[in-house]
């Protein structure tokens, strides 16, 4: 779809007449030589018509090239546009391709490795709402995209009420024209001041813009400009003729764009503008409506966990102890406004440090009364009249009720307030252990009992960390024959220092395991040929974990190691079925 042009009536007639005369002219400058009629005497309207005709006659572009900021390495990219649809791909350091594309309705973002047919090489595909193309590539040099204005030169010239024209000499000595549009209005959030846009037109190269300068009105010492440094003739695949196209240019003297393998008006496939992921790759709607729907589904899933209330509370307390967390019970109706506001605050990044000290247990209002929850915790009975229907319940790792809070206690102006919620969580947060002291105590016990130390680096809300902790605890009788288990979280006192000292490879993923001798020397870790194995639930990761035990254990028998393998394989198969 071509951009709309809105001009006063008189200007429209002049533009139309000039455009017709230009289009039917028997001689065009195919080799960049200006015709006699292209001199300084051309009217403003005819210049506008020439620029708009040349830009809007490019319906599709495909190219490959590279961008380079000052003092940085060049970055390769692939760019395509057809009408309003566009595609941009940029490779990453790990060999994947980061892609953004717009199919006319939604923008999609995703990363994919090679071969593309393997679902394991894809990230999930995120579907956004419609967005203006603000990628700086060939369309930026053409002036078909002015990124900071989210519009094009055609939009600017077409909507101008008055255009000031000044003649000037271009760097190569050829005549040029500068079209200046003042008070350009921008419908963009956060932008209040109007802009001045100056377009330098180059008649020697089919009246394409040679420079676009954008300056906010009334704002000194700030501007952005695009300059074309080199043009090249390419084939117009629709007409078969040659036309000029920018192939090198700069933006504000900081970014240089180089373009190669240009195709103009080619019949580009629709697959460029809409992802075609293999089966098994999720497409996630991250529009406001999609986020709201996903949040509702996520909240409902958190509430709808299997088991009785007593069983869920017991399991949550068991999972909280190794993480040094307290239990936070949320009793609410998942679809209620209060619950949606509460989870929006809990999922806010600024709430994460406070929430990390709690194991979250959502409970539906109709599934359990306040008295039912109290019965599962160590708390004295209270009259129902003074209960005030708490929204939040805090218990320590032994199940002792410490505090409750109704919606009003964590609300402001009738809404759940993140700051008040965080203040409540901080007030009842546990005192975290010191990682240096935990490790020292474990090493002392290893010396006393002639054992090794099995160290797990864990983290709050890491599901695989919880599963590994459960496995180690469930097999404590076997593993305890040779190992003293200890869990370290970087949020513990000196936790970061301990893990940076023990973990020399900067992988960062968790759970991570290391087996230390009684003097603290690292004997073996969960770092395999492909990186950290995490929770061992696949044949190759189970093999690595058993190798860790087999090379360090002194009392575990082959039969006991085989029993550990069977349990891991059984759990891994169950996980695969669930997924």
Give the C-alpha separation, 208 to 57, whole Å: 12
Maximal CA-CA distance, the chain: 99
* CA–CA–CA angle 277, 280, 283 (5° rounding): 55
DSSP helix/strand/coil, 453: strand
pLDDT in tens, 205-243: 888 999 998 888 766 667 788 899 999 999 999 999 999
**Is residue 192 located within the same domain as residue 232?**
yes
In 10 A of CB 157, how many CB atoms? 25
**Is residue 362 located within the same domain as residue 488?**
no
Domain boundary among the residues 427, 447, 469 is at 427
Q: Is the dihedral of CA 543, 548, 551, 553 positive or negative?
A: negative
Backbone angle region of 162, left / alpha / beta, with phi > 0 → left and psi within -120 to 50 → alpha? beta
Q: Which two tokens stand for residue 434?
A: 């010191």
pLDDT in tens, 9-56: 333 323 322 333 233 333 233 333 333 344 445 788 888 999 999 999
Residue 365 belongs to domain with CATH number: 3.40.30.10
pLDDT in tens, 391-443: 999 999 899 999 999 999 999 999 999 999 999 999 999 999 999 999 999 99
Domain boundary among the residues 427, 448, 464 is at 427
Average pLDDT, the chain: 84
**Is residue 407 located within the same domain as residue 309?**
yes
* CA–CA–CA angle 330, 335, 339 (5° rounding): 35
User: In which band, very low, low, confident or very high, does the pLDDT at 143 lie, cut at 50, 70 and 90?
Assistant: confident
Backbone angles phi, psi at 279, to 5 degrees: -55, 140
Please state the domain count of the chain.
3
Give the C-alpha separation, 489 to 460, whole Å: 8
**Is residue 183 located within the same domain as residue 257?**
yes
* pLDDT at residue 139 is higher than 80: yes
Give the C-alpha separation, 541 to 296, whole Å: 35
pLDDT in tens, 512-560: 999 999 999 999 999 988 889 999 988 999 999 999 999 999 999 999 9
Which residue range is the domain that position 538 belongs to? 435-578
**Is residue 274 located within the same domain as residue 164?**
yes
User: In which band, very low, low, confident or very high, does the pLDDT at 140 lie, cut at 50, 70 and 90?
Assistant: confident
**Is residue 374 located within the same domain as residue 469?**
no
Residue 230 belongs to domain with CATH number: 2.50.20.10
| pLDDT at residue 514, as a whole number | 94
Any idea of the CA torsion for 157, 158, 163, 168, to the nearest 10 degrees?
Answer: 30
Burial class (CB in 10 A: 0-12, 13-18, 19+), 302: middle
| pLDDT at residue 37, as a whole number | 41
| pLDDT at residue 170, as a whole number | 64
Give the C-alpha separation, 438 to 348, whole Å: 31
pLDDT in tens, 350-366: 888 899 999 999 999 99
Instruction: Please state the rounded mean pLDDT for residues 78-84.
Output: 90
**Is residue 364 located within the same domain as residue 476?**
no
Give the percent of the chain with pLDDT over 70.
86
Domain boundary among the residues 404, 427, 450 is at 427
């Amino acid at each position: 779809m071509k951009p709309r042009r809105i001009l006063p009536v008189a200007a429209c007639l002049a533009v139309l007449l000039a455009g017709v005369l230009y289009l039917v002219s028997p001689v065009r400058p195919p080799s960049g030589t200006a015709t006699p009629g292209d001199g300084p005497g051309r009217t403003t309207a005819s210049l506008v018509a020439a620029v708009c005709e040349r830009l809007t006659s490019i319906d599709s572009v495909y190219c490959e090239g590279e961008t380079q900021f000052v003092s940085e390495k060049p970055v390769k990219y692939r760019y395509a546009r057809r009408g309003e649809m566009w595609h941009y791909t940029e490779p990453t350091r790990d060999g994947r391709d980061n892609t953004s594309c717009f199919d006319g309705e939604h923008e999609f973002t995703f990363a994919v490795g090679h071969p593309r047919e393997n679902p394991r090489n894809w990230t999930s595909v995120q579907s956004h709402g419609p967005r203006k193309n603000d990628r700086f590539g060939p369309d930026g040099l053409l002036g078909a995209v002015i990124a900071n204005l989210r519009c094009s030169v055609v939009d600017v010239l077409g909507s101008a009420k008055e255009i000031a024209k000044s003649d000037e000499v271009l760097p190569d000595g050829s005549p040029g024209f500068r079209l200046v549009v003042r008070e350009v209005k921008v419908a963009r959030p956060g932008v209040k001041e109007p802009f001045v846009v100056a377009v330098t037109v180059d008649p020697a190269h089919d009246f394409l813009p040679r420079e676009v300068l954008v300056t906010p009105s009334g704002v000194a010492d700030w501007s952005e400009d695009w300059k074309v440094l080199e043009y090249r003739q390419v084939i117009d695949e629709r007409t078969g003729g040659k036309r000029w196209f920018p192939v090198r240019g700069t933006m504000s003297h900081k970014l240089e764009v180089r373009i190669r393998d240009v195709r103009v008006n080619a019949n580009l496939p629709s697959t460029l503008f809409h992802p075609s992921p293999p089966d098994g790759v999720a497409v996630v709607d991250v529009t406001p409506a999609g986020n709201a729907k996903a949040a509702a589904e996520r909240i409902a899933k958190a509430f709808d966990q299997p088991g009785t209330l007593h069983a869920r509370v017991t399991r949550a307390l068991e999972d909280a102890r190794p993480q040094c967390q307290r239990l936070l019970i949320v009793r609410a109706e998942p679809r209620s406004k209060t619950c949606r506001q509460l989870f929006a605050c809990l999922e806010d990044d600024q709430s994460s440090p406070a929430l990390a000290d709690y194991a979250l247990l959502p409970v539906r209002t109709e599934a359990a009364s306040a008295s039912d929850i109290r019965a599962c915790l160590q708390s004295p009975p209270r009259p129902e009249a003074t209960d005030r229907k708490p929204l939040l319940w805090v218990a320590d790792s032994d199940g002792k009720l410490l505090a409750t809070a109704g919606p009003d206690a964590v609300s402001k102006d009738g809404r759940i307030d993140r700051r008040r919620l965080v203040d409540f969580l901080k007030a009842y947060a546990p005192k975290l252990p010191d990682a240096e002291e935990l490790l020292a105590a474990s090493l002392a016990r290893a010396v006393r009992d002639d054992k090794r130390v099995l160290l797990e680096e864990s983290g709050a809300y890491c599901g695989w960390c919880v599963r590994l902790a459960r496995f180690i605890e469930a097999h404590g009788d076997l593993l305890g024959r040779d190992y003293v288990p200890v869990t370290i979280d970087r949020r513990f006192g000196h936790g970061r220092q301990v893990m940076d000292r023990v973990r020399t490879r900067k992988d960062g993923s968790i759970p991570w395991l290391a087996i230390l001798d009684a003097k603290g020397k690292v004997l073996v870790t969960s770092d395999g040929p492909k990186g950290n194995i995490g929770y061992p639930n696949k044949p190759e990761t189970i093999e690595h974990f058993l190798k860790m035990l087999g090379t360090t254990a002194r009392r575990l028998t082959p039969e006991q190691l085989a029993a550990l393998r069977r349990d891991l394989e059984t759990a891994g198969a169950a996980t695969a079925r669930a997924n």
